[in-house]
Amino acid sequence: MVKDIVVYPDKRLKMVSDEVTEFNEELHMLLDDMYDTMVKKKGVGLAAIQIGIAKRVLIVNLPEDDGDDVAVNKEDTFEIINPVFTKLEGSCKNQEGCLSVPGFYEDVERAASIVMEYQNRHGEKKVLQNQDFLAIALQHEMDHLNGKVFVEKLSILKRKKFEKEWKKKQK
Ligand SMILES: [Zn+2]
């Protein structure tokens, strides 16, 4: 089911999300709702708090670009629960956006290479290694679990520019 997205500066985006302890039907419904919402809003990633649920759950789906067609397959979705980075190395800069900050894009500096441990929807432990766009998306979504939005990583100058643009947009 498609849910409403929590939009900046909603205070819920500052919450530190709780560990998931039960891998039950409720969790599976949450994951399915997150997927429906992400696809509907044309995002590539979503954290549970972005639909108002403060649990350490995130999903990422990087659409395959087959020329004109951009295909989104549910089977390609990374469903990530209780993630922990065990390695963050190097640095890179990429333009990021966020469904909770619609219409705003800015360069953000992140680690270039990651190793992440997490659990899947059945509670099985997994390890993921990446040094591509997935690594960036996971760092972005992980920030949400810790109560941070990407605009908070901007330099003071860029942050000021953002706040000004954002205020204008809200009117
Ligand atoms: Zn985001």
Q: pLDDT tens digits for 1-54?
A: 999 999 999 999 999 999 999 999 999 999 999 999 999 999 999 999 999 999
Rounded distance between C-alpha atoms, residue 47 and residue 56, angstroms: 8
Determine if residue 140 is labeled as part of a ligand binding site: yes
Residue type at 168?
A: K
Q: Is 141 labeled as catalytic in the residue annotation? A: yes
Residue 148 has pLDDT above 80, yes or no: yes
Pick the CATH number of 11-66+73-170 from 3.30.930.10, 1.25.40.10, 3.90.45.10, 3.40.50.720: 3.90.45.10
Token representation of residue 115: 């190793």
Centre of ligand 1 to C-alpha 100, Å, is 6
152 CB-near residues (< 8 Å, 6+ apart)? 159
Centre of ligand 1 to C-alpha 131, Å, is 19
* 93-119-14 Cα angle (round to 5): 55
Please tell me whether the overall predicted TM-score, pTM, comes out greater than 0.85 for this model.
yes
Candidate list 141, 152, 163, 165, residue with the active-site label: 141
Q: pLDDT tens digits for 48-75?
A: 999 999 999 999 999 776 666 667 889 8
What's the confidence (pLDDT) of residue 64? Answer: 73
Residue ranges of domains in the chain:
11-66+73-170
